[in-house]
Structure formats: C-alpha cells, structure tokens
Amino acid sequence: MVAVFGDSAVLDRVNAARAADAPIWDIDVRSYETHDRVEHYVGLFSISAKERFLARLSRGTRYEPMIRAKLRASGMPEDLTYLALIESGYDPHAYSRAAAVGMWQFMSSTARDVGMRVDWWMDERRDPARSTDGAIRFLGYLQKQFGSLYLAAAAYNGGPGRVARGLTRFASEMDGAEGEDRFFALAEQDYLRAETKNYVPQIIAAALVAKMPARYGLVIDSLPLYGYDSVLVTPGTSLAHIAAASGATKSEVRDLNPAVLRGITPPDASIWARVPVGLADRTRIALDSIPEANRRGYHTAAVSGNSATLAGFADKQGVTLKQLRWFNPTIKTTKKGRLVAGQSLRIPSDLAIDFAREIPDPGLERYGGSSPSTLSSRGIHVVKRGESLGAIAKRYGTTVTRLKSLNGMKGSRLIAGQTLRLRSGSTTTSSKSSSAKKSTAKKSTAKKSTAKKSPVVKKKTASPNKKTPPRT
C-alpha cells in the first residue's frame, strides 16, 4: 500500500503565484493584513524572528503538500496548514509544558476523541498523517459550531467552551460584526487570553509571509517530500527487524514510525508499519521468512518467587530497571514492593531498546497546572471521556439547564478535557484540553507582542487576487 504525499497541481499553483508575486489564499488574509496585530507578527516573522521562522517554513516543505492534500479532500481551506506552523513549527515531536504533543499539539484525551491511538505503546499525535486527520476532524466540528474559520481556530487554541461563552456574553458589543470579523470583535473584549487573541493574527501573518517570501527577503530551503509505503506487521514486531528487512536505516524507520514509542509495534495488535517508498514488497517477503516469535523485540520471563525485587529481576535478565519498565507498563508487586510470583514480564532485546524512545507517559495530562480536585474546589469540572451533562449535573447536585446556562452552551455535546463552570463566579482556565498548552511557536511570539487593541476591522471588498483555488 503506497501513501506518497505531494500534489503537483498544488505545487504548480503556488510556484506560479510566487513567480508572479500574486499569491492565492483560501482563507481571508487580505481583509486583515493591515490589522495592528497582523502587522506586528509579519514584522516578527520577517525581521526579528526571521531565522526561526525560516527554519520552520523549511521543515514545513516536507509536510505541507500532505497537509494540503488532506485539507482539500475534506473540503477545508488548504491554508489552515499554517495553524500547524504556529502550533509547533511542523515538529512531529513538539511537546509542551501542558503535555500537548505533536505537530497539531493535541492533549491525549482530545486526540483519542478524534480517533487517534494514544497509550503506552503508541502515540499517534506524533504521526504527521494521523494527527492531521484528527486536526481536520476537530477543526471541521468547530467550524460547524461557530460558523467561522477564525473563531474555530480561536476555539482550537483557547477552547470551544470559552469562545461560546464569550459570544453569548458580548453579543451586544459584537452587534453588526459578521463572518470572520466576529473573531476580531470578540478579541477586542477583555475576555480571551492574550495567546488566543494573538493566535489568528499569527496564522494570517504566517500565510502572508510564507506565500510571499521574496517580498520579505526570505529564501526557503526545501526538504524531500513526506512519503512512505506501508506493511502490515504482527504484534510486537521489532522496528529493528523492519529496518533490516527493508534495507532502510535506523533513522529512516524511526522517522517514518514516530508513533511507535518502545521500539516494537504494540504487543496487542497488528499495525501498518512504514518503510521508505518502494520497499514494501521487499520488507514483506523478508519478514515472512522469519518465524513470528523471532520477529518480536522481546522474550518473556516468568517470576518464580515472591522474594524477587524489580531491580534484582532486571539485573538477572541483563536489562536496567528503566528498560524493564519501558516494556512492562503494568508490573504486579506486593505491598512490600516484591514481584508477584507467576507473572510473565517482557524482556526487550538490545535492538528493541536501541529503537525505543525515552518519552513521558502519553497518558499524562495537566490542566493549567491544577489537579482535578483543586479545580473542583474552585467550582470547575474537567470533562472526562464518556461523561455527559446529566451525569455531571447529578454529581454536583445541579441541573443540566443550570450547567448550560453557566457555560453559555446551546447544545449538550462535551469534549474530553473541556472545563465547565459549576457555579456563578467561578472561572475556567481552559475549555478544551489543549487550551492549556504552550507550544514553542506560541511561547516565543506571544510574549513579544506589543500590539495595542484596534477597532473592529470590517471586511473590505475582496481583492481580485483572493480567490479559492480550483479543487482537483
């Protein structure tokens, strides 16, 4: 199965537009290019933070054709690719202090809700293709909810609940604002966090600079396009065996399989592992010639008595305690910390260890540095996966109607990680699990912002150059 991303039609249009200095955007850029915050970030990206921005644009040349192809196929504007630029600088392994991960900076609960696997063995937030699918799904939901791409982007950053409550709370102040102007009208109020107010202007500025690099004195280095072939492999297959079977290098296999965390495919499921383009058949034949047990990146060893310690058992098996824990996320121990007899533990091979990534537990989540119990004491509830408004209302002795009123909700849909006000006067730190995140791109730019508030910018007559590119 071949999955090579790169659309020549898209690239031809972009290159032709750049050559003629007549770029084409499919998000509204021209109406807001003179907005104070947009102009501030254009200057930041093209002057004071030029080298950093260039490095991120260069990294994006590897992934942007894939992202644009997926956006186009979904009916979403292709220039939403710049959201990933602002989120992470197109870094698949970006990791924020709030435990948001990947190119699109998802929290684990939100990632699971949009169809990604996030657990001890795999973290598809790190996979450029899978995380892009998730981001498109989530942005599509937000666009339908708010009827505006820029409000959807603000909700992606600051939380759908916060944006919805703001629209309700400041409805009279925003009277007359339509379309994308509604974001800028809401941003003028003393309500959204500075990071969220600056988020959309950063996306617009990035689109302006990225599509007119010559105008700003930028020369973007291009990287090879992101592409791969896929091979179905059995549970627990070592990435080292996949590399050997395909003839690819360690770095190539690790780069194409960023979601595989422990050097082996998940022990509980077969997955499509990735190899460089053109090597699928060779890899499949070579792997089929190896007995399944030998393809695994580990063997098992039984605990024979209750007196064994974790460190002693690991030492006996020739691995470190850390390595033993890497491949055994659930180890049964007695109250005294001894291993429970009868259990079998995975003992990783040296090659599997060599391919493993030393990263935090993907299940970790933090909500603005506050624990759920601390938030609850402040009148805030963090929505867990599967919870309903009815169940939450019953837990706190209130009603669904009251909860919806407090949180400016029209419907009853909840998103894991969303925060709900439980009583009047309580304030939420975020309404989507990813709203607490601080990606590297946003931290470096939001802190430097000195732009002052400006009046709502009403849309101008569309520029003759601003048109949606034909869909192919």
Tell me which of 422 and 302 has the higher pLDDT: 302
Helix (H) or strand (E) holding 227: strand 227-233
Checking if the pLDDT of 283 tops 90, the result is yes
CB 133 within 8 A of CB 71: no
CB 98 within 8 A of CB 382: no
Checking if the pLDDT of 257 tops 90, the result is yes
For the ranges 6-15, 113-122, 189-198, 439-448, which has the lowest average pLDDT? Answer: 439-448
Long-range contacts of 369-375 (CB under 8 A, 24+ apart): 369/436, 370/429, 375/419, 375/429
Long-range contacts of 372-376 (CB under 8 A, 24+ apart): 375/419, 375/429, 376/422
Buried b / exposed e across 195-234, counting CB within 10 Å, b at 16+?
Answer: bbbbbbbbbbbbbbbbbbbeebebebeeeebbbbbbbebe
- What does R_g of the chain's alpha carbons equal in angstroms? 25
Helix (H) or strand (E) holding 56: helix 50-74
**Mean pLDDT across the stretch 442-455?**
39
Token pair 């795999």 in the structure block, residue? 122
* Predicted local distance difference test score (pLDDT) of residue 413: 75
Tell me which of 371 and 158 has the higher pLDDT: 158
Q: Which of 166, 296, 266, 216 is nearest to 39 (CA)?
A: 216
Half-sphere exposure of 322 (CA within 13 A, CB side): 6
* Predicted local distance difference test score (pLDDT) of residue 408: 59
* Residue 137: both structure tokens together: 């799904």
Q: Which of 362, 340, 358 is nearest to 348 (CA)?
A: 358
* Residue 92: both structure tokens together: 């698949």
Half-sphere exposure of 2 (CA within 13 A, CB side): 7
Report which DSSP code applies to 302: E
Sign for the CA dihedral angle at 49, 50, 53, 59 comes to negative
CB 359 within 8 A of CB 261: yes
Checking if the pLDDT of 318 tops 70, the result is yes
Helices then strands, each counted (H, E), the chain: 21, 7
Half-sphere exposure of 419 (CA within 13 A, CB side): 30
**pTM over cut 0.85:** no
Give the angle subtended at the CA of 84 by the CAs of 359 and 68, to the nearest 5°.
125
Q: How far is CA 407 from CA 149, 294, 304, 346, 384, in A?
A: 22, 55, 56, 47, 17
Which of helix, strand or coil describes residue 365?
Answer: coil
Tell me which of 438 and 191 has the higher pLDDT: 191
101 CB neighbour count, 10 Å cutoff: 30
Give the angle subtended at the CA of 148 by the CAs of 94 and 405, to the nearest 5°.
95
* Predicted local distance difference test score (pLDDT) of residue 416: 61
Checking if the pLDDT of 96 tops 90, the result is no
Which tens digit of pLDDT belongs to each residue from 171-214?
999 999 999 999 999 999 999 999 999 999 999 999 999 999 99
* pLDDT winner (highest mean) among 233-237, 398-402, 430-434: 233-237
172: left (phi over 0), alpha (psi -120 to 50) or beta: alpha
Q: What is the DSSP string of 85-144?
A: HHHHSS-TT-B-TT--BTTTTB-HHHHHHTT--BSSSBBGGG-HHHHHHHHHHHHHHHHH
* Predicted local distance difference test score (pLDDT) of residue 366: 58
User: Over pLDDT 70: what percentage of the chain?
Assistant: 80
Q: How far is CA 361 from CA 129, 342, 354, in A?
A: 22, 26, 18
* Residue 202: both structure tokens together: 């950063």
Checking if the pLDDT of 438 tops 50, the result is no
